[in-house]
Structure 1
Amino acid sequence: MAASVGMRSVLIEPDGLCRNLYRITALNNVLGGYTNGPELAHSISADLNSTDRCRIELGHRATELRAFDDHVAVTLETGARLTAPHAVLATGVGALQPRDADWITAPPNLTLPPLWQAEPHHAEGRTLLVLGGDRPIGTFLRAYPDTNTRLLVAYPASDEYKVEEIRDDPRVTLLRIDHLLLRTPEGPVITAEALGRDGERSTVEADVAFLSIGSAPIAPPGDLVRDTAGYCPPSDQHPRIIIAGDLRSSQFQRIATAMGSGSEAALRAYYATRNS
């Protein structure tokens, strides 16, 4: 969008372009005929690479963002400092870990992959323990409609509304619980002790465990205003800092809204610069 109105930009990305999109195997809320993440990622990457108005800085991470009356300054981990009239911040969110959920007790050093990283060979003929009832479960089931798998979805009462779309899938067993004690894996089996809402205790066993407990915002240090959950409300920021995508709020974490907010951010910077 910035290039289309004649603006030059620098895109700072610590990993590959659209890296998360390549893990999204099914899309049902994006216009343009895209049915999976890789298709959309290829299209976006092609657009970025086709313009000489966007300089792409791959493999770099922003370590500080500062806003001044007439410009912003971004410091990279290399020590380089970039300045511009505006900064669009779209660093998004990262997956929470078991230690971040008060309804899960887990070994302190245990980390698990989010469900959106699961692939067919993880699921075929196996039982998956999924912690939390967040949206990627429905995406996974739609992506692999014929996969012979069983999903044990352990979730707290606060996730009740999230599991409605998967409730009738025969591959899913819903386990609404008050607490889950996740043990250190021993051998090929994942074991957990579940405390149900009726006070009953049960043992849960699975071949592999994945996370679907939600995400937490990721943003560099600097001149940002954050709410109590770590998100950066757009209306609270310095006029030269524009927030786009999932970093805005937990309520609008969708690809379609993220793309729209990115376009809006570019136009906001364009009109502000033109009128200054």
Structure 2
Amino acid sequence: MADTLYDTDLIVIGGGPAGCAAARMAASVGMRSILVEPDRLCRNLYRIPALNNVLGGYTSGPELADSILAELKSTGLCRLELGRRVTDLRVDEVRVTITVDTGARLTAPYTVVATGVGPLQPHDVAWISAPSGLTLPPLWQAEADDAEGRSLLVLGGDRPIGTFLRAHPTTGTRLLVAYPAADEYKIEEIREDPRITLLPAEHLSLSATEGTAVSAEAVSQDGARQTITADAAYLSIGNAPTAPSGDLVRGVDGYCPPTDQHPRVIVAGDLRSARFQRIMTALGSGSEAALHAYYAARELTKG
């Protein structure tokens, strides 16, 4: 497909499950692709210790990631550009042009943007007050050995809490989960776990940490105040989209709805919406995105 107008048939931005699936599907229909990823392929999958919602019998993120990488690295039509970050994306009626952090530019008729999301920090949400500049690690970065026998303050009730507990069924870690009313539905799967102490909070004020210890004051919906102390604090308050600058249309929530984009820009994976942040949906949407480019390039319709 590629000719002198382009460097390749398809540029894939992002090397997570959606981006890898897009590159693999593109190759299966004879399309050349360049996949650009600033880190390692499937980086976040390697940090998920337990899986229970993907096909293929995979029970851990690393197991699934290894399988994806083995397939992609054996795909001759995919050129990997690892350690490179896309700093700008421009699109016109003829091509898509991306600029990477080295200043180099790449062109293609279409691009799949699958840069996913990154963890929100305390300053990103209104219900938490924290010292200026404080950043905390997400819960999935907590190592079981380091957490054993300790109490961890977890900010937010997002899904990684359940993943952590399933991955470490015998851990003696105690999780103090402070969460807003909006997260009430998310904590159902962990409510009965004896290692969990639920702390519904209208507002939480996080004090400056001394060493690894942390303290906070939680205000409940009825105005009651409670002081919380823990050995360390971790995040589980959700994620924010991490799209490159340039000609991407963003919604008010920062996500990039696929139907709002230029016809040459196809959004896949978690970047589409907060509603579909699952590995299986990422894999499916990445594959579909590559087929979308394939059929569009031939002026065909799927049917």
Number of aligned residues: 276
Q: Which residue, 106, 113, 129 being the options, matches 1:105?
A: 129
Structure 2 spans left out of the alignment, 5+ residues: 1-24
Q: Distance in 2 between matches of 1:258 and 1:156?
A: 27
Partner SS state of residue 2, structure 1: helix
Partner SS state of residue 202, structure 2: strand
Q: Which residue, 40, 58, 77 being the options, matches 2:101?
A: 77
Q: Distance in 2 between matches of 1:184 and 1:12?
A: 38
Q: How does 1:50-65 map to 2 (within 5 A)?
A: 50-65=74-89
Q: Which residue, 154, 158, 161 being the options, matches 1:134?
A: 158
Specify the alignment match of 2:68 in structure 1.
44
Specify the alignment match of 2:17 in structure 1.
none
Q: Distance in 2 between matches of 1:242 and 1:197?
A: 42
Q: Distance in 1 between matches of 2:262 and 2:133?
A: 38
Q: Distance in 2 between matches of 1:224 and 1:17?
A: 23
Q: How does 1:153-192 map to 2 (within 5 A)?
A: 153-192=177-216
The one-letter code matched in structure 1 to 2:210 is E
Residues 215-248 of structure 1: per-residue CA shift (max 9 Å, x gap) = 0001111111110011000001000000000000
Q: Which residue, 133, 144, 155 being the options, matches 1:120?
A: 144
Q: Which residue, 4, 29, 47 being the options, matches 1:23?
A: 47
Q: Distance in 1 between matches of 2:161 and 2:137?
A: 13
Specify the alignment match of 1:261 in structure 2.
285
Where do 4+ consecutive residues of structure 1 move more than 6 Å? none
The one-letter code matched in structure 2 to 1:197 is Q
Q: Distance in 1 between matches of 2:219 and 2:150?
A: 24
1:218 aligns with 2:242: yes
The one-letter code matched in structure 1 to 2:105 is R
Q: Distance in 2 between matches of 1:188 and 1:142?
A: 25
1:146 aligns with 2:146: no
Q: Distance in 2 between matches of 1:187 and 1:265?
A: 46
What TM-score do you get using the length of structure 2 for normalisation?
0.90
Instruction: Among all aligned residue pairs of Structure 1 and Structure 2, give the percentage whose two residues are the same amino acid.
Output: 70
* Shift of residue 275, structure 1, vs aligned partner: 2.2
Q: Distance in 1 between matches of 2:54 and 2:32?
A: 27
* Shift of residue 197, structure 1, vs aligned partner: 1.7
Q: Distance in 1 between matches of 2:174 and 2:82?
A: 39
Q: Distance in 2 between matches of 1:171 and 1:228?
A: 37
CA RMSD of aligned residues (A): 0.9
Q: Distance in 2 between matches of 1:103 and 1:255?
A: 29
Q: Distance in 1 between matches of 2:257 and 2:213?
A: 42
What TM-score do you get using the length of structure 1 for normalisation?
0.98
